[in-house]
A and B are shown apart, each in its own frame.
Chain A
Amino acid sequence: MATTRTLFDQELAELKSGVVRMGSMVEQAIAESMRALVDRNNALAREVINRDQEVNELHRQLRERAFMIMATQQPVARDLRLIVSFQHMVLELERMGDHAVGIARAALRLNDLPQLKPYIDLPRMAEITESQVHEILGAVIEADQDRARAIAERDDEVDALYHKIWDELVGFMVQDPANVQRAAILLFLAKDLERIADRVTNIAEDVVFLHTGRIVELS
């Protein structure tokens, strides 16, 4: 059946590609903020912090565009779900970008201090989180709700690592008050990663909504 809404379809496609572009920027920010920590690279940390402005600007543009499409095209059904989902997704991505900035700031503070311990579980946690972000963008592109549900289930792995890291860092604090500052910064950093994974789950819920029209709770 020939489409009668070529311009509208084009606008939706552009909106979608904007969401994916924003996702890629955030994915890169998360990876680089962790690398700034592990490699003790302050320049990279500052770059992540500065580049967040671009993420924020893209967020603003995409919100504006989504609003304009809704105001001018009166979308319904799958079209409306698509736009509403994208609006929510970009909000989640923007917050993920803020968490990456949080990690970069933590790296800047930690890099000036002697390393408390070798980083093992944190990079593992980051690896899972980054792959979740990458995967969920794929599920958005494909509008694949089964994939989205599977990705959301990996949140349990991230939570388990977070609790392990928590216990370990609290142990360091108890052991020696001199550890408290560094352990506390690392705790906040781990919390940023844990929140990124939670936001992936929120996006997974959007993908399910996109597909079914049902608002679900996947966590």
Chain B
Amino acid sequence: MITTATMQTEVAPPPLRDADVEIKLDARHVNFWYGDFQALHDASLAVQARKITALIGPSGCGKTTFLRIFNRMHDLTPGTRATGEVLLDSHNVLSPDTDVINLRRQVGMLFQRANPFPKSIYDNVAYGPHILGWSKAQIDQVVEESLKDTGLWEEVKDRLRRSALNLSGGQQQRLCLARALAVRPEVILMDEPASALDPIATLRIEELMQELKKRYTIVIVTHNMQQASRVSDFTAFMLMNQKRAGEVIEFSPTDDIFNRPKDSRTEDYITGRFG
């Protein structure tokens, strides 16, 4: 006999907007242009607090563009324009009155290639707190805490005044993460943070992410689908539409995206049938 409970074949919709779910970053109908070229079309994404959300999709689908809008990195590129809303705790970060410096403190970023300043390890982490005018004692404390949070402290505590450029690639990337953590952000954006690292350094970053998500909200762009499936709680699959503008095709809990995607384009992509 077939029980009715087992007849269900529809995937349950993700609880992305339940009342008891805290949405940290809420992108609503975002469109984005580089000059005349529309790079993003009507993209929405409700990022849950203290979860890891991955953006995946083929090259050119707008995932990095989308990520960079979250802390207005696109302001640095002339001729760009964004419409729609990106609510950070209900404030629209796209509105002209946004304090962009403060926004980037709240929403930190880690890039594909580690980009430490040509300064000492200490000064790299102390850079943000110093600009914010924190006391020496506060800065000392936050440097130690941030390096501990990224698992670097034991490795570098005896050479804090040495150049950060002498660290290995994986250590440099963790230093950049410590630099982002030092200003007490709420959200961390990661753009292919491990693509230039070896497998061991990659796994360290991934383990670190699991620790950090207890306190921070993380959005990661990755080409590595195994990485997305390993580390993230939610995954958004993006694709270019016919006009070459990126769109969010499917956004679900990561388990569903990698086991039972609803959209055949998602399934084709994650199973390597195109892209």
Contacts and interface: CB of A to CB of B under 8 A. Distances in A.
Interface of A: 1-5, 8, 74-81, 149, 152-153, 156, 208, 211-214, 216-219
A138 to B, nearest CB: 19
B6 A76 contact: no
A74 B226 contact: yes
Interface stretch (B60-68, B171-179, B210-218, B257-265): B257-265
Interface string B222-249: 0001100100000000000000000000
Interface string B72-97: 00000000000000000000000000
Contacts of B8: 214
Interface of B: 1-3, 6, 8-9, 11, 225-226, 229, 258-261, 267-268, 270-275
Contacts of A8: 272
B272 A5 contact: yes
Given A214-B6, A214-B9, A218-B2, A76 B271 contact: yes
B259 to A, nearest CB: 5
Contacts of A212: 9, 260
Contacts of B259: 76-77, 80-81, 213
Given A74-B226, A77-B258, A213-B260, A5 B273 contact: yes
Nearest to A145: B9
B260 A4 contact: no
30 contacts: A1-B268, A2-B274, A3-B273, A3-B274, A4-B272, A4-B273, A4-B274, A5-B272, A8-B272, A76-B258, A76-B259, A76-B270, A77-B258, A77-B261, A77-B270, A77-B271, A78-B271, A79-B271, A80-B259, A81-B259, A149-B2, A153-B1, A153-B2, A156-B1, A211-B9, A212-B9, A214-B6, A214-B8, A217-B6, A218-B2
Nearest to A212: B9
Contacts of B9: 211-212, 214
A34 to B, nearest CB: 27
Given A77-B271, A80-B259, A153-B1, 5 more contacts: A4-B274, A76-B225, A76-B271, A77-B261, A213-B259
